[in-house]
Structure 1
Amino acid sequence: MRAVRFTDWKTKPSLKEVPKPTPGPGEVLLKVAGAGACHSDVAIYADFEAGIVHGLDPEYTLGHENSGWVEEVGEGVTGFTKGDAYLVFGPIGCGHCTACSRGQDTYCENAATNPYQGIGLGRDGGMAEYLTVPARNLIPLGDADPVAAAPLADAALTPYHAMKLSLPQLNKGGATALVIGLGGLGQIAVQIIKALTGATVIATDMKPEAMELAASRGAITVPGGEGQVEKIREITGGRGVDAIFDFVGIKPTIELGQQTMAQGGRLTVVGIAGGVVEWSFFTNPYEAVITNTYWGTIEDLHEVVKMYQAGQIVPDVQRFTMDQALEAYELLESGKLSARAVVMPNE
């Protein structure tokens, strides 16, 4: 079968022929419907070096946002019917620590000794015709389109987890939220906040077309540049924003969050650009929190799928065949995508 392989550090991925996998005990073989291309993949093959993150050493198949149809089950697996569609929860922890028992594999206490970080992250991912997945990591999609659903595994799960943790700030009269960065995650974030809360959503980006899309989803948009902080604070009546979600993570965007936070507010840095800022007693409003999150729990992903099935969140996707998979990554790297690239290996 064909697969998009990460072969070495500082090296672009390759489309290669590899053996079709066989499900082991407790696993399910999926015929892949869709695999999302994520900036995290680009960081791995373009920016990372050996030893930066344990469990990511090449070679393996990329793709940590995956969906597919049941093809075969391994020993001990019951309750699955061939042809049924499922979404894949990508993180894989040790399975027995406290964090994993909560379904929070991303914070596995044994991550430093696990053989890989997850599906498509050290273990073969979904940029291939077939994929093996632990049965526990599968969330049923029912009749929902599995190709469009693929990005939910990260591009929706990640903002959803951050939003759940911020609900105390958002579930009150007059609450405001700020979404910084209106790429794939930011656009879904706007939809999630509107569906879960009554908060006023403010959204900001440098791209006019991204802000237009966010505005069509109910956000008040503020362009980047001069007067950005003042405009955001004006929308909040000068009080500042209750919950801020930074999907970029560079120094200027984190500082924007600091400068627009309300007292008792919460700034969640979701983007992993690695921005560094100063903090002192006088740089933040009183009792405000700056924090970060990584991905989400398997429980969160079940809830995300329910929102998708109910039509509350709709990912923006651009579909690619397997022949176009490397082109999808090129477009992602160059910033020329207007939606999440989803590769369909079996089209």
Structure 2
Amino acid sequence: MKAVRFTNWKTFPEIKDVPRPVPGPGEVLLKIAGAGACHSDVAVFDSFDESMPVAGQLGPEYTLGHENSGWIEEIGEGVTGLNVGDAYLAYGPIGCGHCAACSRGQDTYCANAATQPYLAVGLGRDGGMAEYMTVPARNLVPLGDADPVLAAPLSDAGLTPYHAIKLALPKLAGGGKSALVIGLGGLGQIAVQILTAITGAKVIATDMKPEAMAEAERNGAITVPGGPDQVERIRELTGGEGVTAVFDFVGITPTISTAQQVVARQGRITVVGVAGGPVNWDFYSNPYEAELTNTYWGTIEELYEVVALYREGKISPSVKTYSIDDALQAYHDLHDGKLSGRAVVAPHGA
């Protein structure tokens, strides 16, 4: 079968022919409907190297793709209650399965992550940027009759912002609240939809791309372009009080600085983007009791909630589909900043 393979550090992936995998005990074989291309993939093959703390778990070679959906093709030994042909999302993280975090379905924060052979499907373990993929049956979230190709990005681009927003809900409860989304790529666009769906907050969004801001406006956001008056205009939209909850989907020093300048007293800044920009902080410039935190992915329980929002029509990822033969072009388009939504490779047709 064809698969997009990460072959080495600082090396663009390749399409190779590899054997079709066989599900082991407790696993299923998914016929891939859709596999999302993510900036995290680009970071792995474009920026990371063997000096990274997780290099041992992300070392080549393996198939990329950690945002996956598909139909059950085969069922492994010991798996019951699942039917061949049914459509599922695949929860990507795979922890040890027996620590406290994993028992909560929060494999992203597995206490034994450092001893695991990989981080997730598509991140150290063969992922879904291929015709077929194996995955633990525990990691499947049913899609019912929802379109699995369009749903594929929900397993990361939907789950990651949902987790960050859900943790901030105590700040956003009640009237007169506001939320700011910085960065309107695939995750930021879905974040706008989630905020309008589950909160009553005024949603503000900012980006440098007019087309990305136009899409956010269609989903209910008030947009502010980047520029010298960006901070002033955002604060004006909050009556000068500052933003209740800021979600930074970029994570570089300038965007974090913008968040710090616009957040309200007792507000919250969540850095979701993994660019890794350093932060300057001091007691007198930080609004009193304003929180600065980060989040990573989400829980499998929350993925069920994301799918519920999708099936109810409250969120809908913007998707551009590619064939498996054009999968490398999807990564080129992502790398070159040509996408405002999500690139999804559909190996068996859209």
TM-score scaled by structure 1? Answer: 0.99
Contact 2:251 2:273 in 1 (8 A): yes
Q: Deviation of residue 336 (structure 1)? A: 1.2
Q: Which residue of 2 aligns with 1:25?
A: 25
Distance 1:66 1:82 in 2: 17
The corresponding residue for 2:197 is 195
| Separation (CA, whole Å) in 2 of partners of 1:327 and 1:283 | 44
Distance 1:114 1:277 in 2: 30
Q: Give 1:175-324 correspondences, 5 Å limit.
A: 175-324=177-326
Which of 138, 141, 144 in structure 2 is aligned with 1:139?
141
Query: What is the rounded CA distance, in whole Å, between the counterparts of 1:146 and 1:130 in structure 2?
Result: 14
The Cα shift of 1:51 comes to 4.1
Q: What do the CA deviations read for 1:109-146 (whole angstroms, capped 9, x no partner)?
A: 11111010010000000011111010000000000000
What residue is the counterpart of 1:107 in the other structure?
109
Distance 2:347 2:213 in 1: 32
2:251 and 2:283 map into 1 onto residues whose CA distance is 22
- RMSD value, Cα: 0.7
Amino acid corresponding to residue 243 of structure 2 in structure 1? V
Distance 1:72 1:110 in 2: 30
For residues 75-118 of structure 1, give each alpha carbon's deviation from its aligned partner in whole angstroms, at most 9, with x where no partner exists. Answer: 00011111110000000000011111111111111111101001
Matches of 1:275 and 1:328, distance apart in 2: 26
Deviation string for 1:294-322 (max 9, x for gaps)? 00000110100000000010000000001
Mapped contact 2:185–2:339 kept (Cα < 8 A): no
Asked if the contact 2:163–2:297 (Cα under 8 Å) also holds between the matched residues in 1, the reply is yes
Q: Match for residue 153 of structure 1?
A: 155
Report 1:56-95 matches (<5 A).
56-95=58-97
2:266 aligned partner, one-letter code: G
| Aligned positions, number | 347
Cα distance in 2 for partners of 1:220, 1:234 equals: 12
Q: Is the 8 A contact 2:21 2:132 kept in 1?
A: yes
Distance 1:341 1:218 in 2: 23
Partner of residue 39, structure 1 = 39
What is the letter of the counterpart of residue 13 of structure 2?
A: P
Distance, in Å, in 1 between the alignment partners of 2:333 and 2:178 is: 34
AA in 1 matched with 2:178: T
Choose the corresponding residue for 2:175, options 159, 173, 176. 173
Structure-1 separation of matches of 2:285 and 2:344: 41
How far off is 1:188 after superposition? 0.3
**Superimposed CA distance per residue, residues 231-290 of structure 1 (whole angstroms, 9 cap, x where no aligned partner):** 111110111000000000011100001000111000000001111121111121101100
C-alpha separation between the residues in 1 aligned to 2:80 and 2:230? Answer: 55
1:1-16 equivalences in 2 (<5 Å): 1-16=1-16
Which amino acid counterpart does residue 133 of structure 1 have in structure 2? V
C-alpha distance in 2 between matches for 1:255 and 1:8:
34
Q: In the aligned structure 2, how far is the partner of 1:221 from the partner of 1:342?
A: 26
Moved more, 28-37 or 329-338: 329-338
Unmatched runs of 5 consecutive residues or more in structure 1: none
Deviations 1:12-62 (A, max 9, x none): 101001000010000010100000000100100111001411410111000
2:48 is aligned to 48
Q: Secondary structure at the match of 2:170?
A: helix
Tell me the CA shift for residue 338 of structure 1: 3.1
